[in-house]
Chain A
Amino acid sequence: MSIALDTGLEFYRHVLELRGYRQQILSADIANASTPGFKAVDLDFQEALGAVAPGEASPERPRSSELAWLVDDVRDLSPAGSGLPAGLAASVKYQVGTPVTLDGNSVDLNQNKVAAAENALQYEAAASFASQTIRMLTIAINGSASQQSNGGS
C-alpha cells in the first residue's frame, strides 16, 4: 500500500483556510456593526468546502437556511490575494432574518459574536486533527511513538 504523505493533510489545509476566511468575514461584520447601509454577510462553509475539496464534504447535508443566496453582487467578494479560488465568492451570502436598523445596517452583533466563537472552535478542532495526523505520520516514519519522542525534541 502506498499513500502520499500529505493525503490526510490536504483536507485540513482546506478546512483551516476556509475557517480563516470565515473568521475574516465575521470580523468585517463586527467591525461594521455601526456603518450605515452595511449588510451582514457570512460564509456558507458546507458549500465552500464542497467547492474547494469536492468529494470530501458531504453534499447531502441540507444547506444552511439562515443564509440567503447572493443574487448578483458577488463581484466584490473574491478573496483576492489569499490564494483561495475566486469561485468561493459564490458561497458568501447575506445574513437574512436579522433586524435592519433605520440606517440600513443589518449586523446583529450578538449573533456574529456567537458565530465567530463557533468558527474559532471549529478552527481549533481542525488544527488539532491536523496535529494528530502529523503525529501519526511521524510515528509511522520512526517506527514507534517512543522513538519519535526521543528523536523529536
Chain B
Amino acid sequence: MSLATALAISGSGMAAEAERLSAVASNLANANSIVTSSGTAYRAREVVFRAVSEGGGIEGPSAIGMAGVRVAAVVESAEPLRTSYDPSSSFADDNGYVTMPNVNAVEEMVNMISAQQDYQANLEAFNVAKSLALRTLAI
C-alpha cells in the first residue's frame, strides 16, 4: 500500500534528521573537549545522508523516487584543528599551544536549524499520510 510506504519514507526522514541533530548536539557539547579517548582533540562529526529504497529494489545514490533516507556514514570534519596559545595549560605543546577541537559553532547552529526544518517537514508529511490513511478507512 503506497500510503504505508509514504509513512515509512517520512519515518526514515525523521530518524535521519534526528541523527543529524545528535551529531550537532555532540559537536556543540564537545566544542572545548581537548582530550578524547583517542588522545587527541575532538573532531566535529558530520552525518552523510544517502537515498535508499524503501521496501527493496532500488539501491545507490542515483536512485530516484520512492526513496527513504539513511545515514550512510558519520565522518569526522576535515577542517584543521584550532590552536590556542595557553602556555599554562598542562596540555600545551613545547611552543605553548593547545590543540582545540575543530567545531565551528556558527556552522553547527545553521546545521541545527536546517535539521529542525527538515524534521518538521517530514513530520508534516507523516501526519498528512496518516490522516489520508484514516480517511480511507472511513469510506
Chain A residues numbered 106-137 whose CB sits less than 8 Å from any CB in chain B: 109, 112-113, 116-117, 120, 123-124, 127, 130-131, 134
Within 8 Å by CB of A73, from B50, B53, B62, B131, lies: B62
- In angstroms, how far is the closest chain B Cβ from the Cβ of A52? 13
Judge whether B139 is part of the interface by a CB distance below 8 angstroms. yes
Q: Is the CB of A20 within 8 A of B2?
A: yes
- In angstroms, how far is the closest chain B Cβ from the Cβ of A109? 5
Q: Is the CB of A30 within 8 A of B122?
A: yes
* Chain A hits for B1, CB < 8 A: 20, 82
In the complex formed, the residue of A with least CB distance to B13 is A31
Judge whether B129 is part of the interface by a CB distance below 8 angstroms. yes
Q: How large is the interface on A (under 10, 10 to 19, 20 to 34, 35 or more residues)?
A: 35 or more
Q: What are 5 of the A-B contact pairs (CB < 8 Å)?
A: A31-B69, A35-B49, A76-B63, A77-B64, A123-B132
Q: Is the CB of B9 within 8 A of A27?
A: yes
Judge whether B24 is part of the interface by a CB distance below 8 angstroms. no
Judge whether A79 is part of the interface by a CB distance below 8 angstroms. yes
Which of B6, B13, B16, B17 neighbours the largest number of chain A CB atoms within 10 Å of its CB?
B6
Chain B residues numbered 103-139 whose CB sits less than 8 Å from any CB in chain A: 114-115, 117-118, 121-122, 124-126, 128-129, 131-132, 135-136, 138-139
Q: Is the CB of B12 within 8 A of A31?
A: yes
Which of B3, B58, B115, B138 neighbours the largest number of chain A CB atoms within 10 Å of its CB?
B3
- In angstroms, how far is the closest chain B Cβ from the Cβ of A46? 18
List the one stretch of A37-45, A57-65, A142-150 in contact with chain B. A37-45
Q: Is the CB of A34 within 8 A of B128?
A: no
